Amino acid sequence: MSSGTLHEVETEKSLLGTLLMKGMGGRGELVLKPVDFYIEVHQRIYTAIEDLAALGVEIDPISVINHLKETGNVKDENKDVEYIMSLYRDTIPTHSIEYYIGRIRRLSDRRKYQKALMEASEDLQDAQGDNDTIFARIEQALMDISRVERSKGLRLVKEDTQDLIDYVKLLLENKGGIMGLRTHYSELDDLTGGFKSHELIVLAARPGNGKTTFALNIAANVALKEKKVVAIFTTEMSRTEMLLKMICAEARIDSKLLQSGSIPASQSKSLLMAITNITSAPIYIDDSGNFSVQEIAARVRQLKTNEDIGLVIVDYIQLVNDPKAAGQGRQVEVSSVSRNLKLLTRDANCPILALSQMSREVEKRTKDQRPVLSDLRESGAIEQDADIVAFIHIEEKVKGDETPPEKKGKADIIIAKNRAGALKTFELLFTPKYSRFDNISISEQVHN
């Protein structure tokens, strides 16, 4: 690679000359795109070669020249014909086709980054708004390029042999146990196998049914019991409110008593221990509010440079915005937010637990108000992108004093979508005054 340049004319000529001499050599596609070539005439020649290969026509100088004429892609017939013939006549292949493809693609990728950086420089000088928004937009543009360029396209399954063997060994060693991140809610872990990296988990409930509480309980379990880093983005609650919820849950202290400053002296020790445990846990909270999905992604990536993130929590999807999709309707914007969160699970290599609102339709049903997938607000895109969708349903919130005794103090966790497992409903104990969900079995509470 020449110093100071982002293109190699001779490498491009060598690839095209080799193809004109030897054809595709049985290859179905060459991975490269015409835009990967720096020289304009090379782009036109390669386009013709691609077209001919797709048609099953033998590739040689005459077929390429004729195709350029037929498609109106000849600029100067005499010059184009002479150039193609010179490529065929003068090329002496010294490397494999794969070698040439690799160099051309590497340089093309760098040119794309260079262009994005130049546009970013102009954006920095001209853009209006706060720095966080501008920086997030620039970083997202670079990440979009990186995600596309890292794609490997079609690959022979033979390339996956060792990874597959390693994964099967892990499955056998684990004997069907929890492979992903444990939440320490036993039935949830059994059903999901734990939260996996690359999974988007959506948790939805009607207001007051504890979705933030449940998410914070999971966060505390992941941070305290699994010793994993948790990043929480909250659009409604302050970091102090969240911390108080986690402290009350950890100490099993009535939050109203704490707020009024009237907890019994006997609970002071538990309170201090809970404060120590929670504030020493690897939990990061961002309560800036009014997030764009690009800002969340940028902050996760920034944290990822120093920490191995175990879980990201977003509270909640419908209050996250996407400037790129703004003005196209709320449905489109929520769809874009949902899709970008799913992509972020791959970039950050960790699961994301995203909380979601529900539509009011569920409250209009007179017979059964148990939520279903269509009750998700802007449900289509969220349902499509999510790997797991869980609902919290509390019978007491619906029936009040008419609640059957066996349902009092309990919440149904409804797994309505589970891409890699079964659909099921299970119960947890729910104690609102402690901001706490617990496994039903006392023995499970002790061991989990």
Pairing of strands 388-393, 352-356: unpaired
Report the C-alpha gap between 298 and 221 in whole angstroms. Answer: 25
Report the C-alpha gap between 103 and 127 in whole angstroms. Answer: 35
Beta bridge partners, 144, equal none
Q: Locate tokens 């040689």: which residue?
A: 60
Q: Which of 356, 391, 349 is nearest to 228 (CA)?
A: 349
Report the C-alpha gap between 346 and 181 in whole angstroms. Answer: 15
Collapsing DSSP states into helix, strand and coil, what is residue 361? Answer: helix
Q: Which of 312, 335, 323, 332 is nearest to 385 (CA)?
A: 335
Please say whether the beta carbons of 67 and 51 come within 8 A.
yes
Q: What are the tokens at 138?
A: 């620039």
Q: Which of 89, 16, 95 is nearest to 48 (CA)?
A: 16
Neighbouring residues of 447: CB distance < 8 A, sequence distance ≥ 6: none
Report the C-alpha gap between 350 and 340 in whole angstroms. Answer: 14
Report the C-alpha gap between 392 and 209 in whole angstroms. Answer: 7
Collapsing DSSP states into helix, strand and coil, what is residue 219? Answer: helix
Please say whether the beta carbons of 343 and 293 come within 8 A.
no
Measured N-to-C along each axis, helices 40-55 and 9-22 cross at an angle, to the nearest 10 degrees, of 30
Active site residues: 236
Q: 322 to each of 83, 261, 331, how far by Cα in Å?
A: 48, 41, 11
Task: Kindly tell me the burial class for residue 6, based on how many C-beta atoms sit within 10 Å of its own C-beta (0-12, 13-18, 19 or more).
Answer: middle
